[in-house]
């Protein structure tokens, strides 16, 4: 089996994780810019982070035969300080031409605050100006539904964004349908015990179908499992899904969405 993990934070993972992912069949991954587990104090910290995402991490991945791509942004958790956020946004165009950058992400909302929404709108405008794909983070708290609606409204308000070029991640049972109905792509983020487990993700696939849907591990600095995608594939096999159905969500769908950026080149 070969698969793509389209949302994983490898800067927080060890070489052992790269090795295990390669052994499990990972051929490519995409890494959205996110919170590092602590707040960075200046835009220079982000400049270095963007260098890590565009220079250092692709080299580590290549050592295990995995193609590394990334997304750039200021994440919603660090967007409360408007002047810092705007300094970071001004750095992004310096990196957009790098060969592994696929678009703007993971932008979105965390606590659905006014400042988060302002910075979200400014980054949607940036994506529109540079014609970039968008990867969206939705809140993990109980107001996920409200946050998801606010984000979709902000994207539509821009007026210049094709929803087929936006992936809304961390969907759950109560948000997947409205996301797909409005023409966006949806991502299910798998966690070992909390939030969406591999078992729940397969339940969602069985209820809502497998069009415009992908699975990712989010593997980050906190409790998470970089092998979540192959584990969900095993769960699908256990329930009698065919190899073609498994490959559709673990390889074909992410490839179709990501290939809208011409830099994404994965065989098969």
List residues binding Zn ion (CB under 5 A): 34
Least Å distance between CB 137 and Zn ion? 6
Q: For residues 146 and 195, which CB has a smaller minimum distance to Zn ion in the complex? A: 195
The CA dihedral of 201, 204, 206, 210, to the nearest 10 degrees, is -90
Nearer to Zn ion by Cβ, of 1 and 12: the residue is 12
Task: Report the distance separating Cα 91 and Cα 73, nearest Å.
Answer: 9
Q: CB-wise, 34 or 50, nearer to Zn ion?
A: 34
Q: Which is nearer to Zn ion, 4 or 246 (CB)?
A: 4
Q: How far is the CB of 135 from Zn ion (least distance, A)?
A: 9
CB within 8 A of 204, min separation 6: which ones? Answer: 171, 172, 173, 176, 188, 196, 213
With respect to Zn ion, which residue has the nearer C-beta, 36 or 246?
36
Least distance to Zn ion, CB of residue 11, Å: 11
- Closest residue to Zn ion, Cβ-based? 34
| Shortest CB 79 distance to Zn ion, Å | 15
């Amino acid at each position: 089996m070969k698969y793509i993990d389209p949302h994983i934070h490898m800067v927080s993972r060890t070489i052992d994780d790269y090795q295990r992912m390669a052994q499990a069949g990972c051929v490519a991954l995409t890494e959205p810019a996110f919170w590092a587990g602590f707040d960075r104090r200046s835009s220079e910290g982000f400049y270095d982070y963007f260098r890590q995402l565009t220079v250092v991490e692709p080299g580590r991945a290549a050592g295990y035969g995995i193609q590394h791509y990334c997304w750039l942004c200021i994440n919603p958790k660090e967007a409360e300080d408007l002047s810092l956020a705007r300094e970071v946004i001004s750095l992004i165009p310096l990196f957009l031409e790098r060969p592994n950058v696929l678009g703007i992400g993971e932008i979105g909302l965390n606590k659905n605050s006014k400042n988060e929404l302002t910075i979200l709108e400014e980054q949607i405008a940036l994506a529109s100006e540079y014609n970039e794909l968008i990867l969206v983070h939705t809140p993990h708290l109980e107001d996920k539904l409200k946050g998801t609606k606010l984000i979709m409204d902000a994207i539509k308000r821009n007026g210049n964004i094709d929803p087929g070029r936006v992936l809304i991640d961390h969907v759950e049972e109560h948000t997947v349908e409205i996301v797909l109905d409005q023409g966006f792509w949806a991502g299910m983020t798998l966690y070992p015990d909390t939030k969406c487990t591999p078992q729940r993700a397969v339940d969602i696939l069985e209820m809502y179908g497998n069009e415009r849907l992908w699975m990712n591990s989010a593997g980050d600095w906190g409790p998470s499992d970089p092998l979540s995608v192959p584990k969900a594939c095993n769960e699908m096999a256990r329930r009698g899904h065919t190899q073609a159905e498994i490959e559709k969500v673990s390889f074909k769908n992410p490839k179709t969405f990501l290939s809208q950026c011409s830099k994404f080149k994965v065989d098969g």
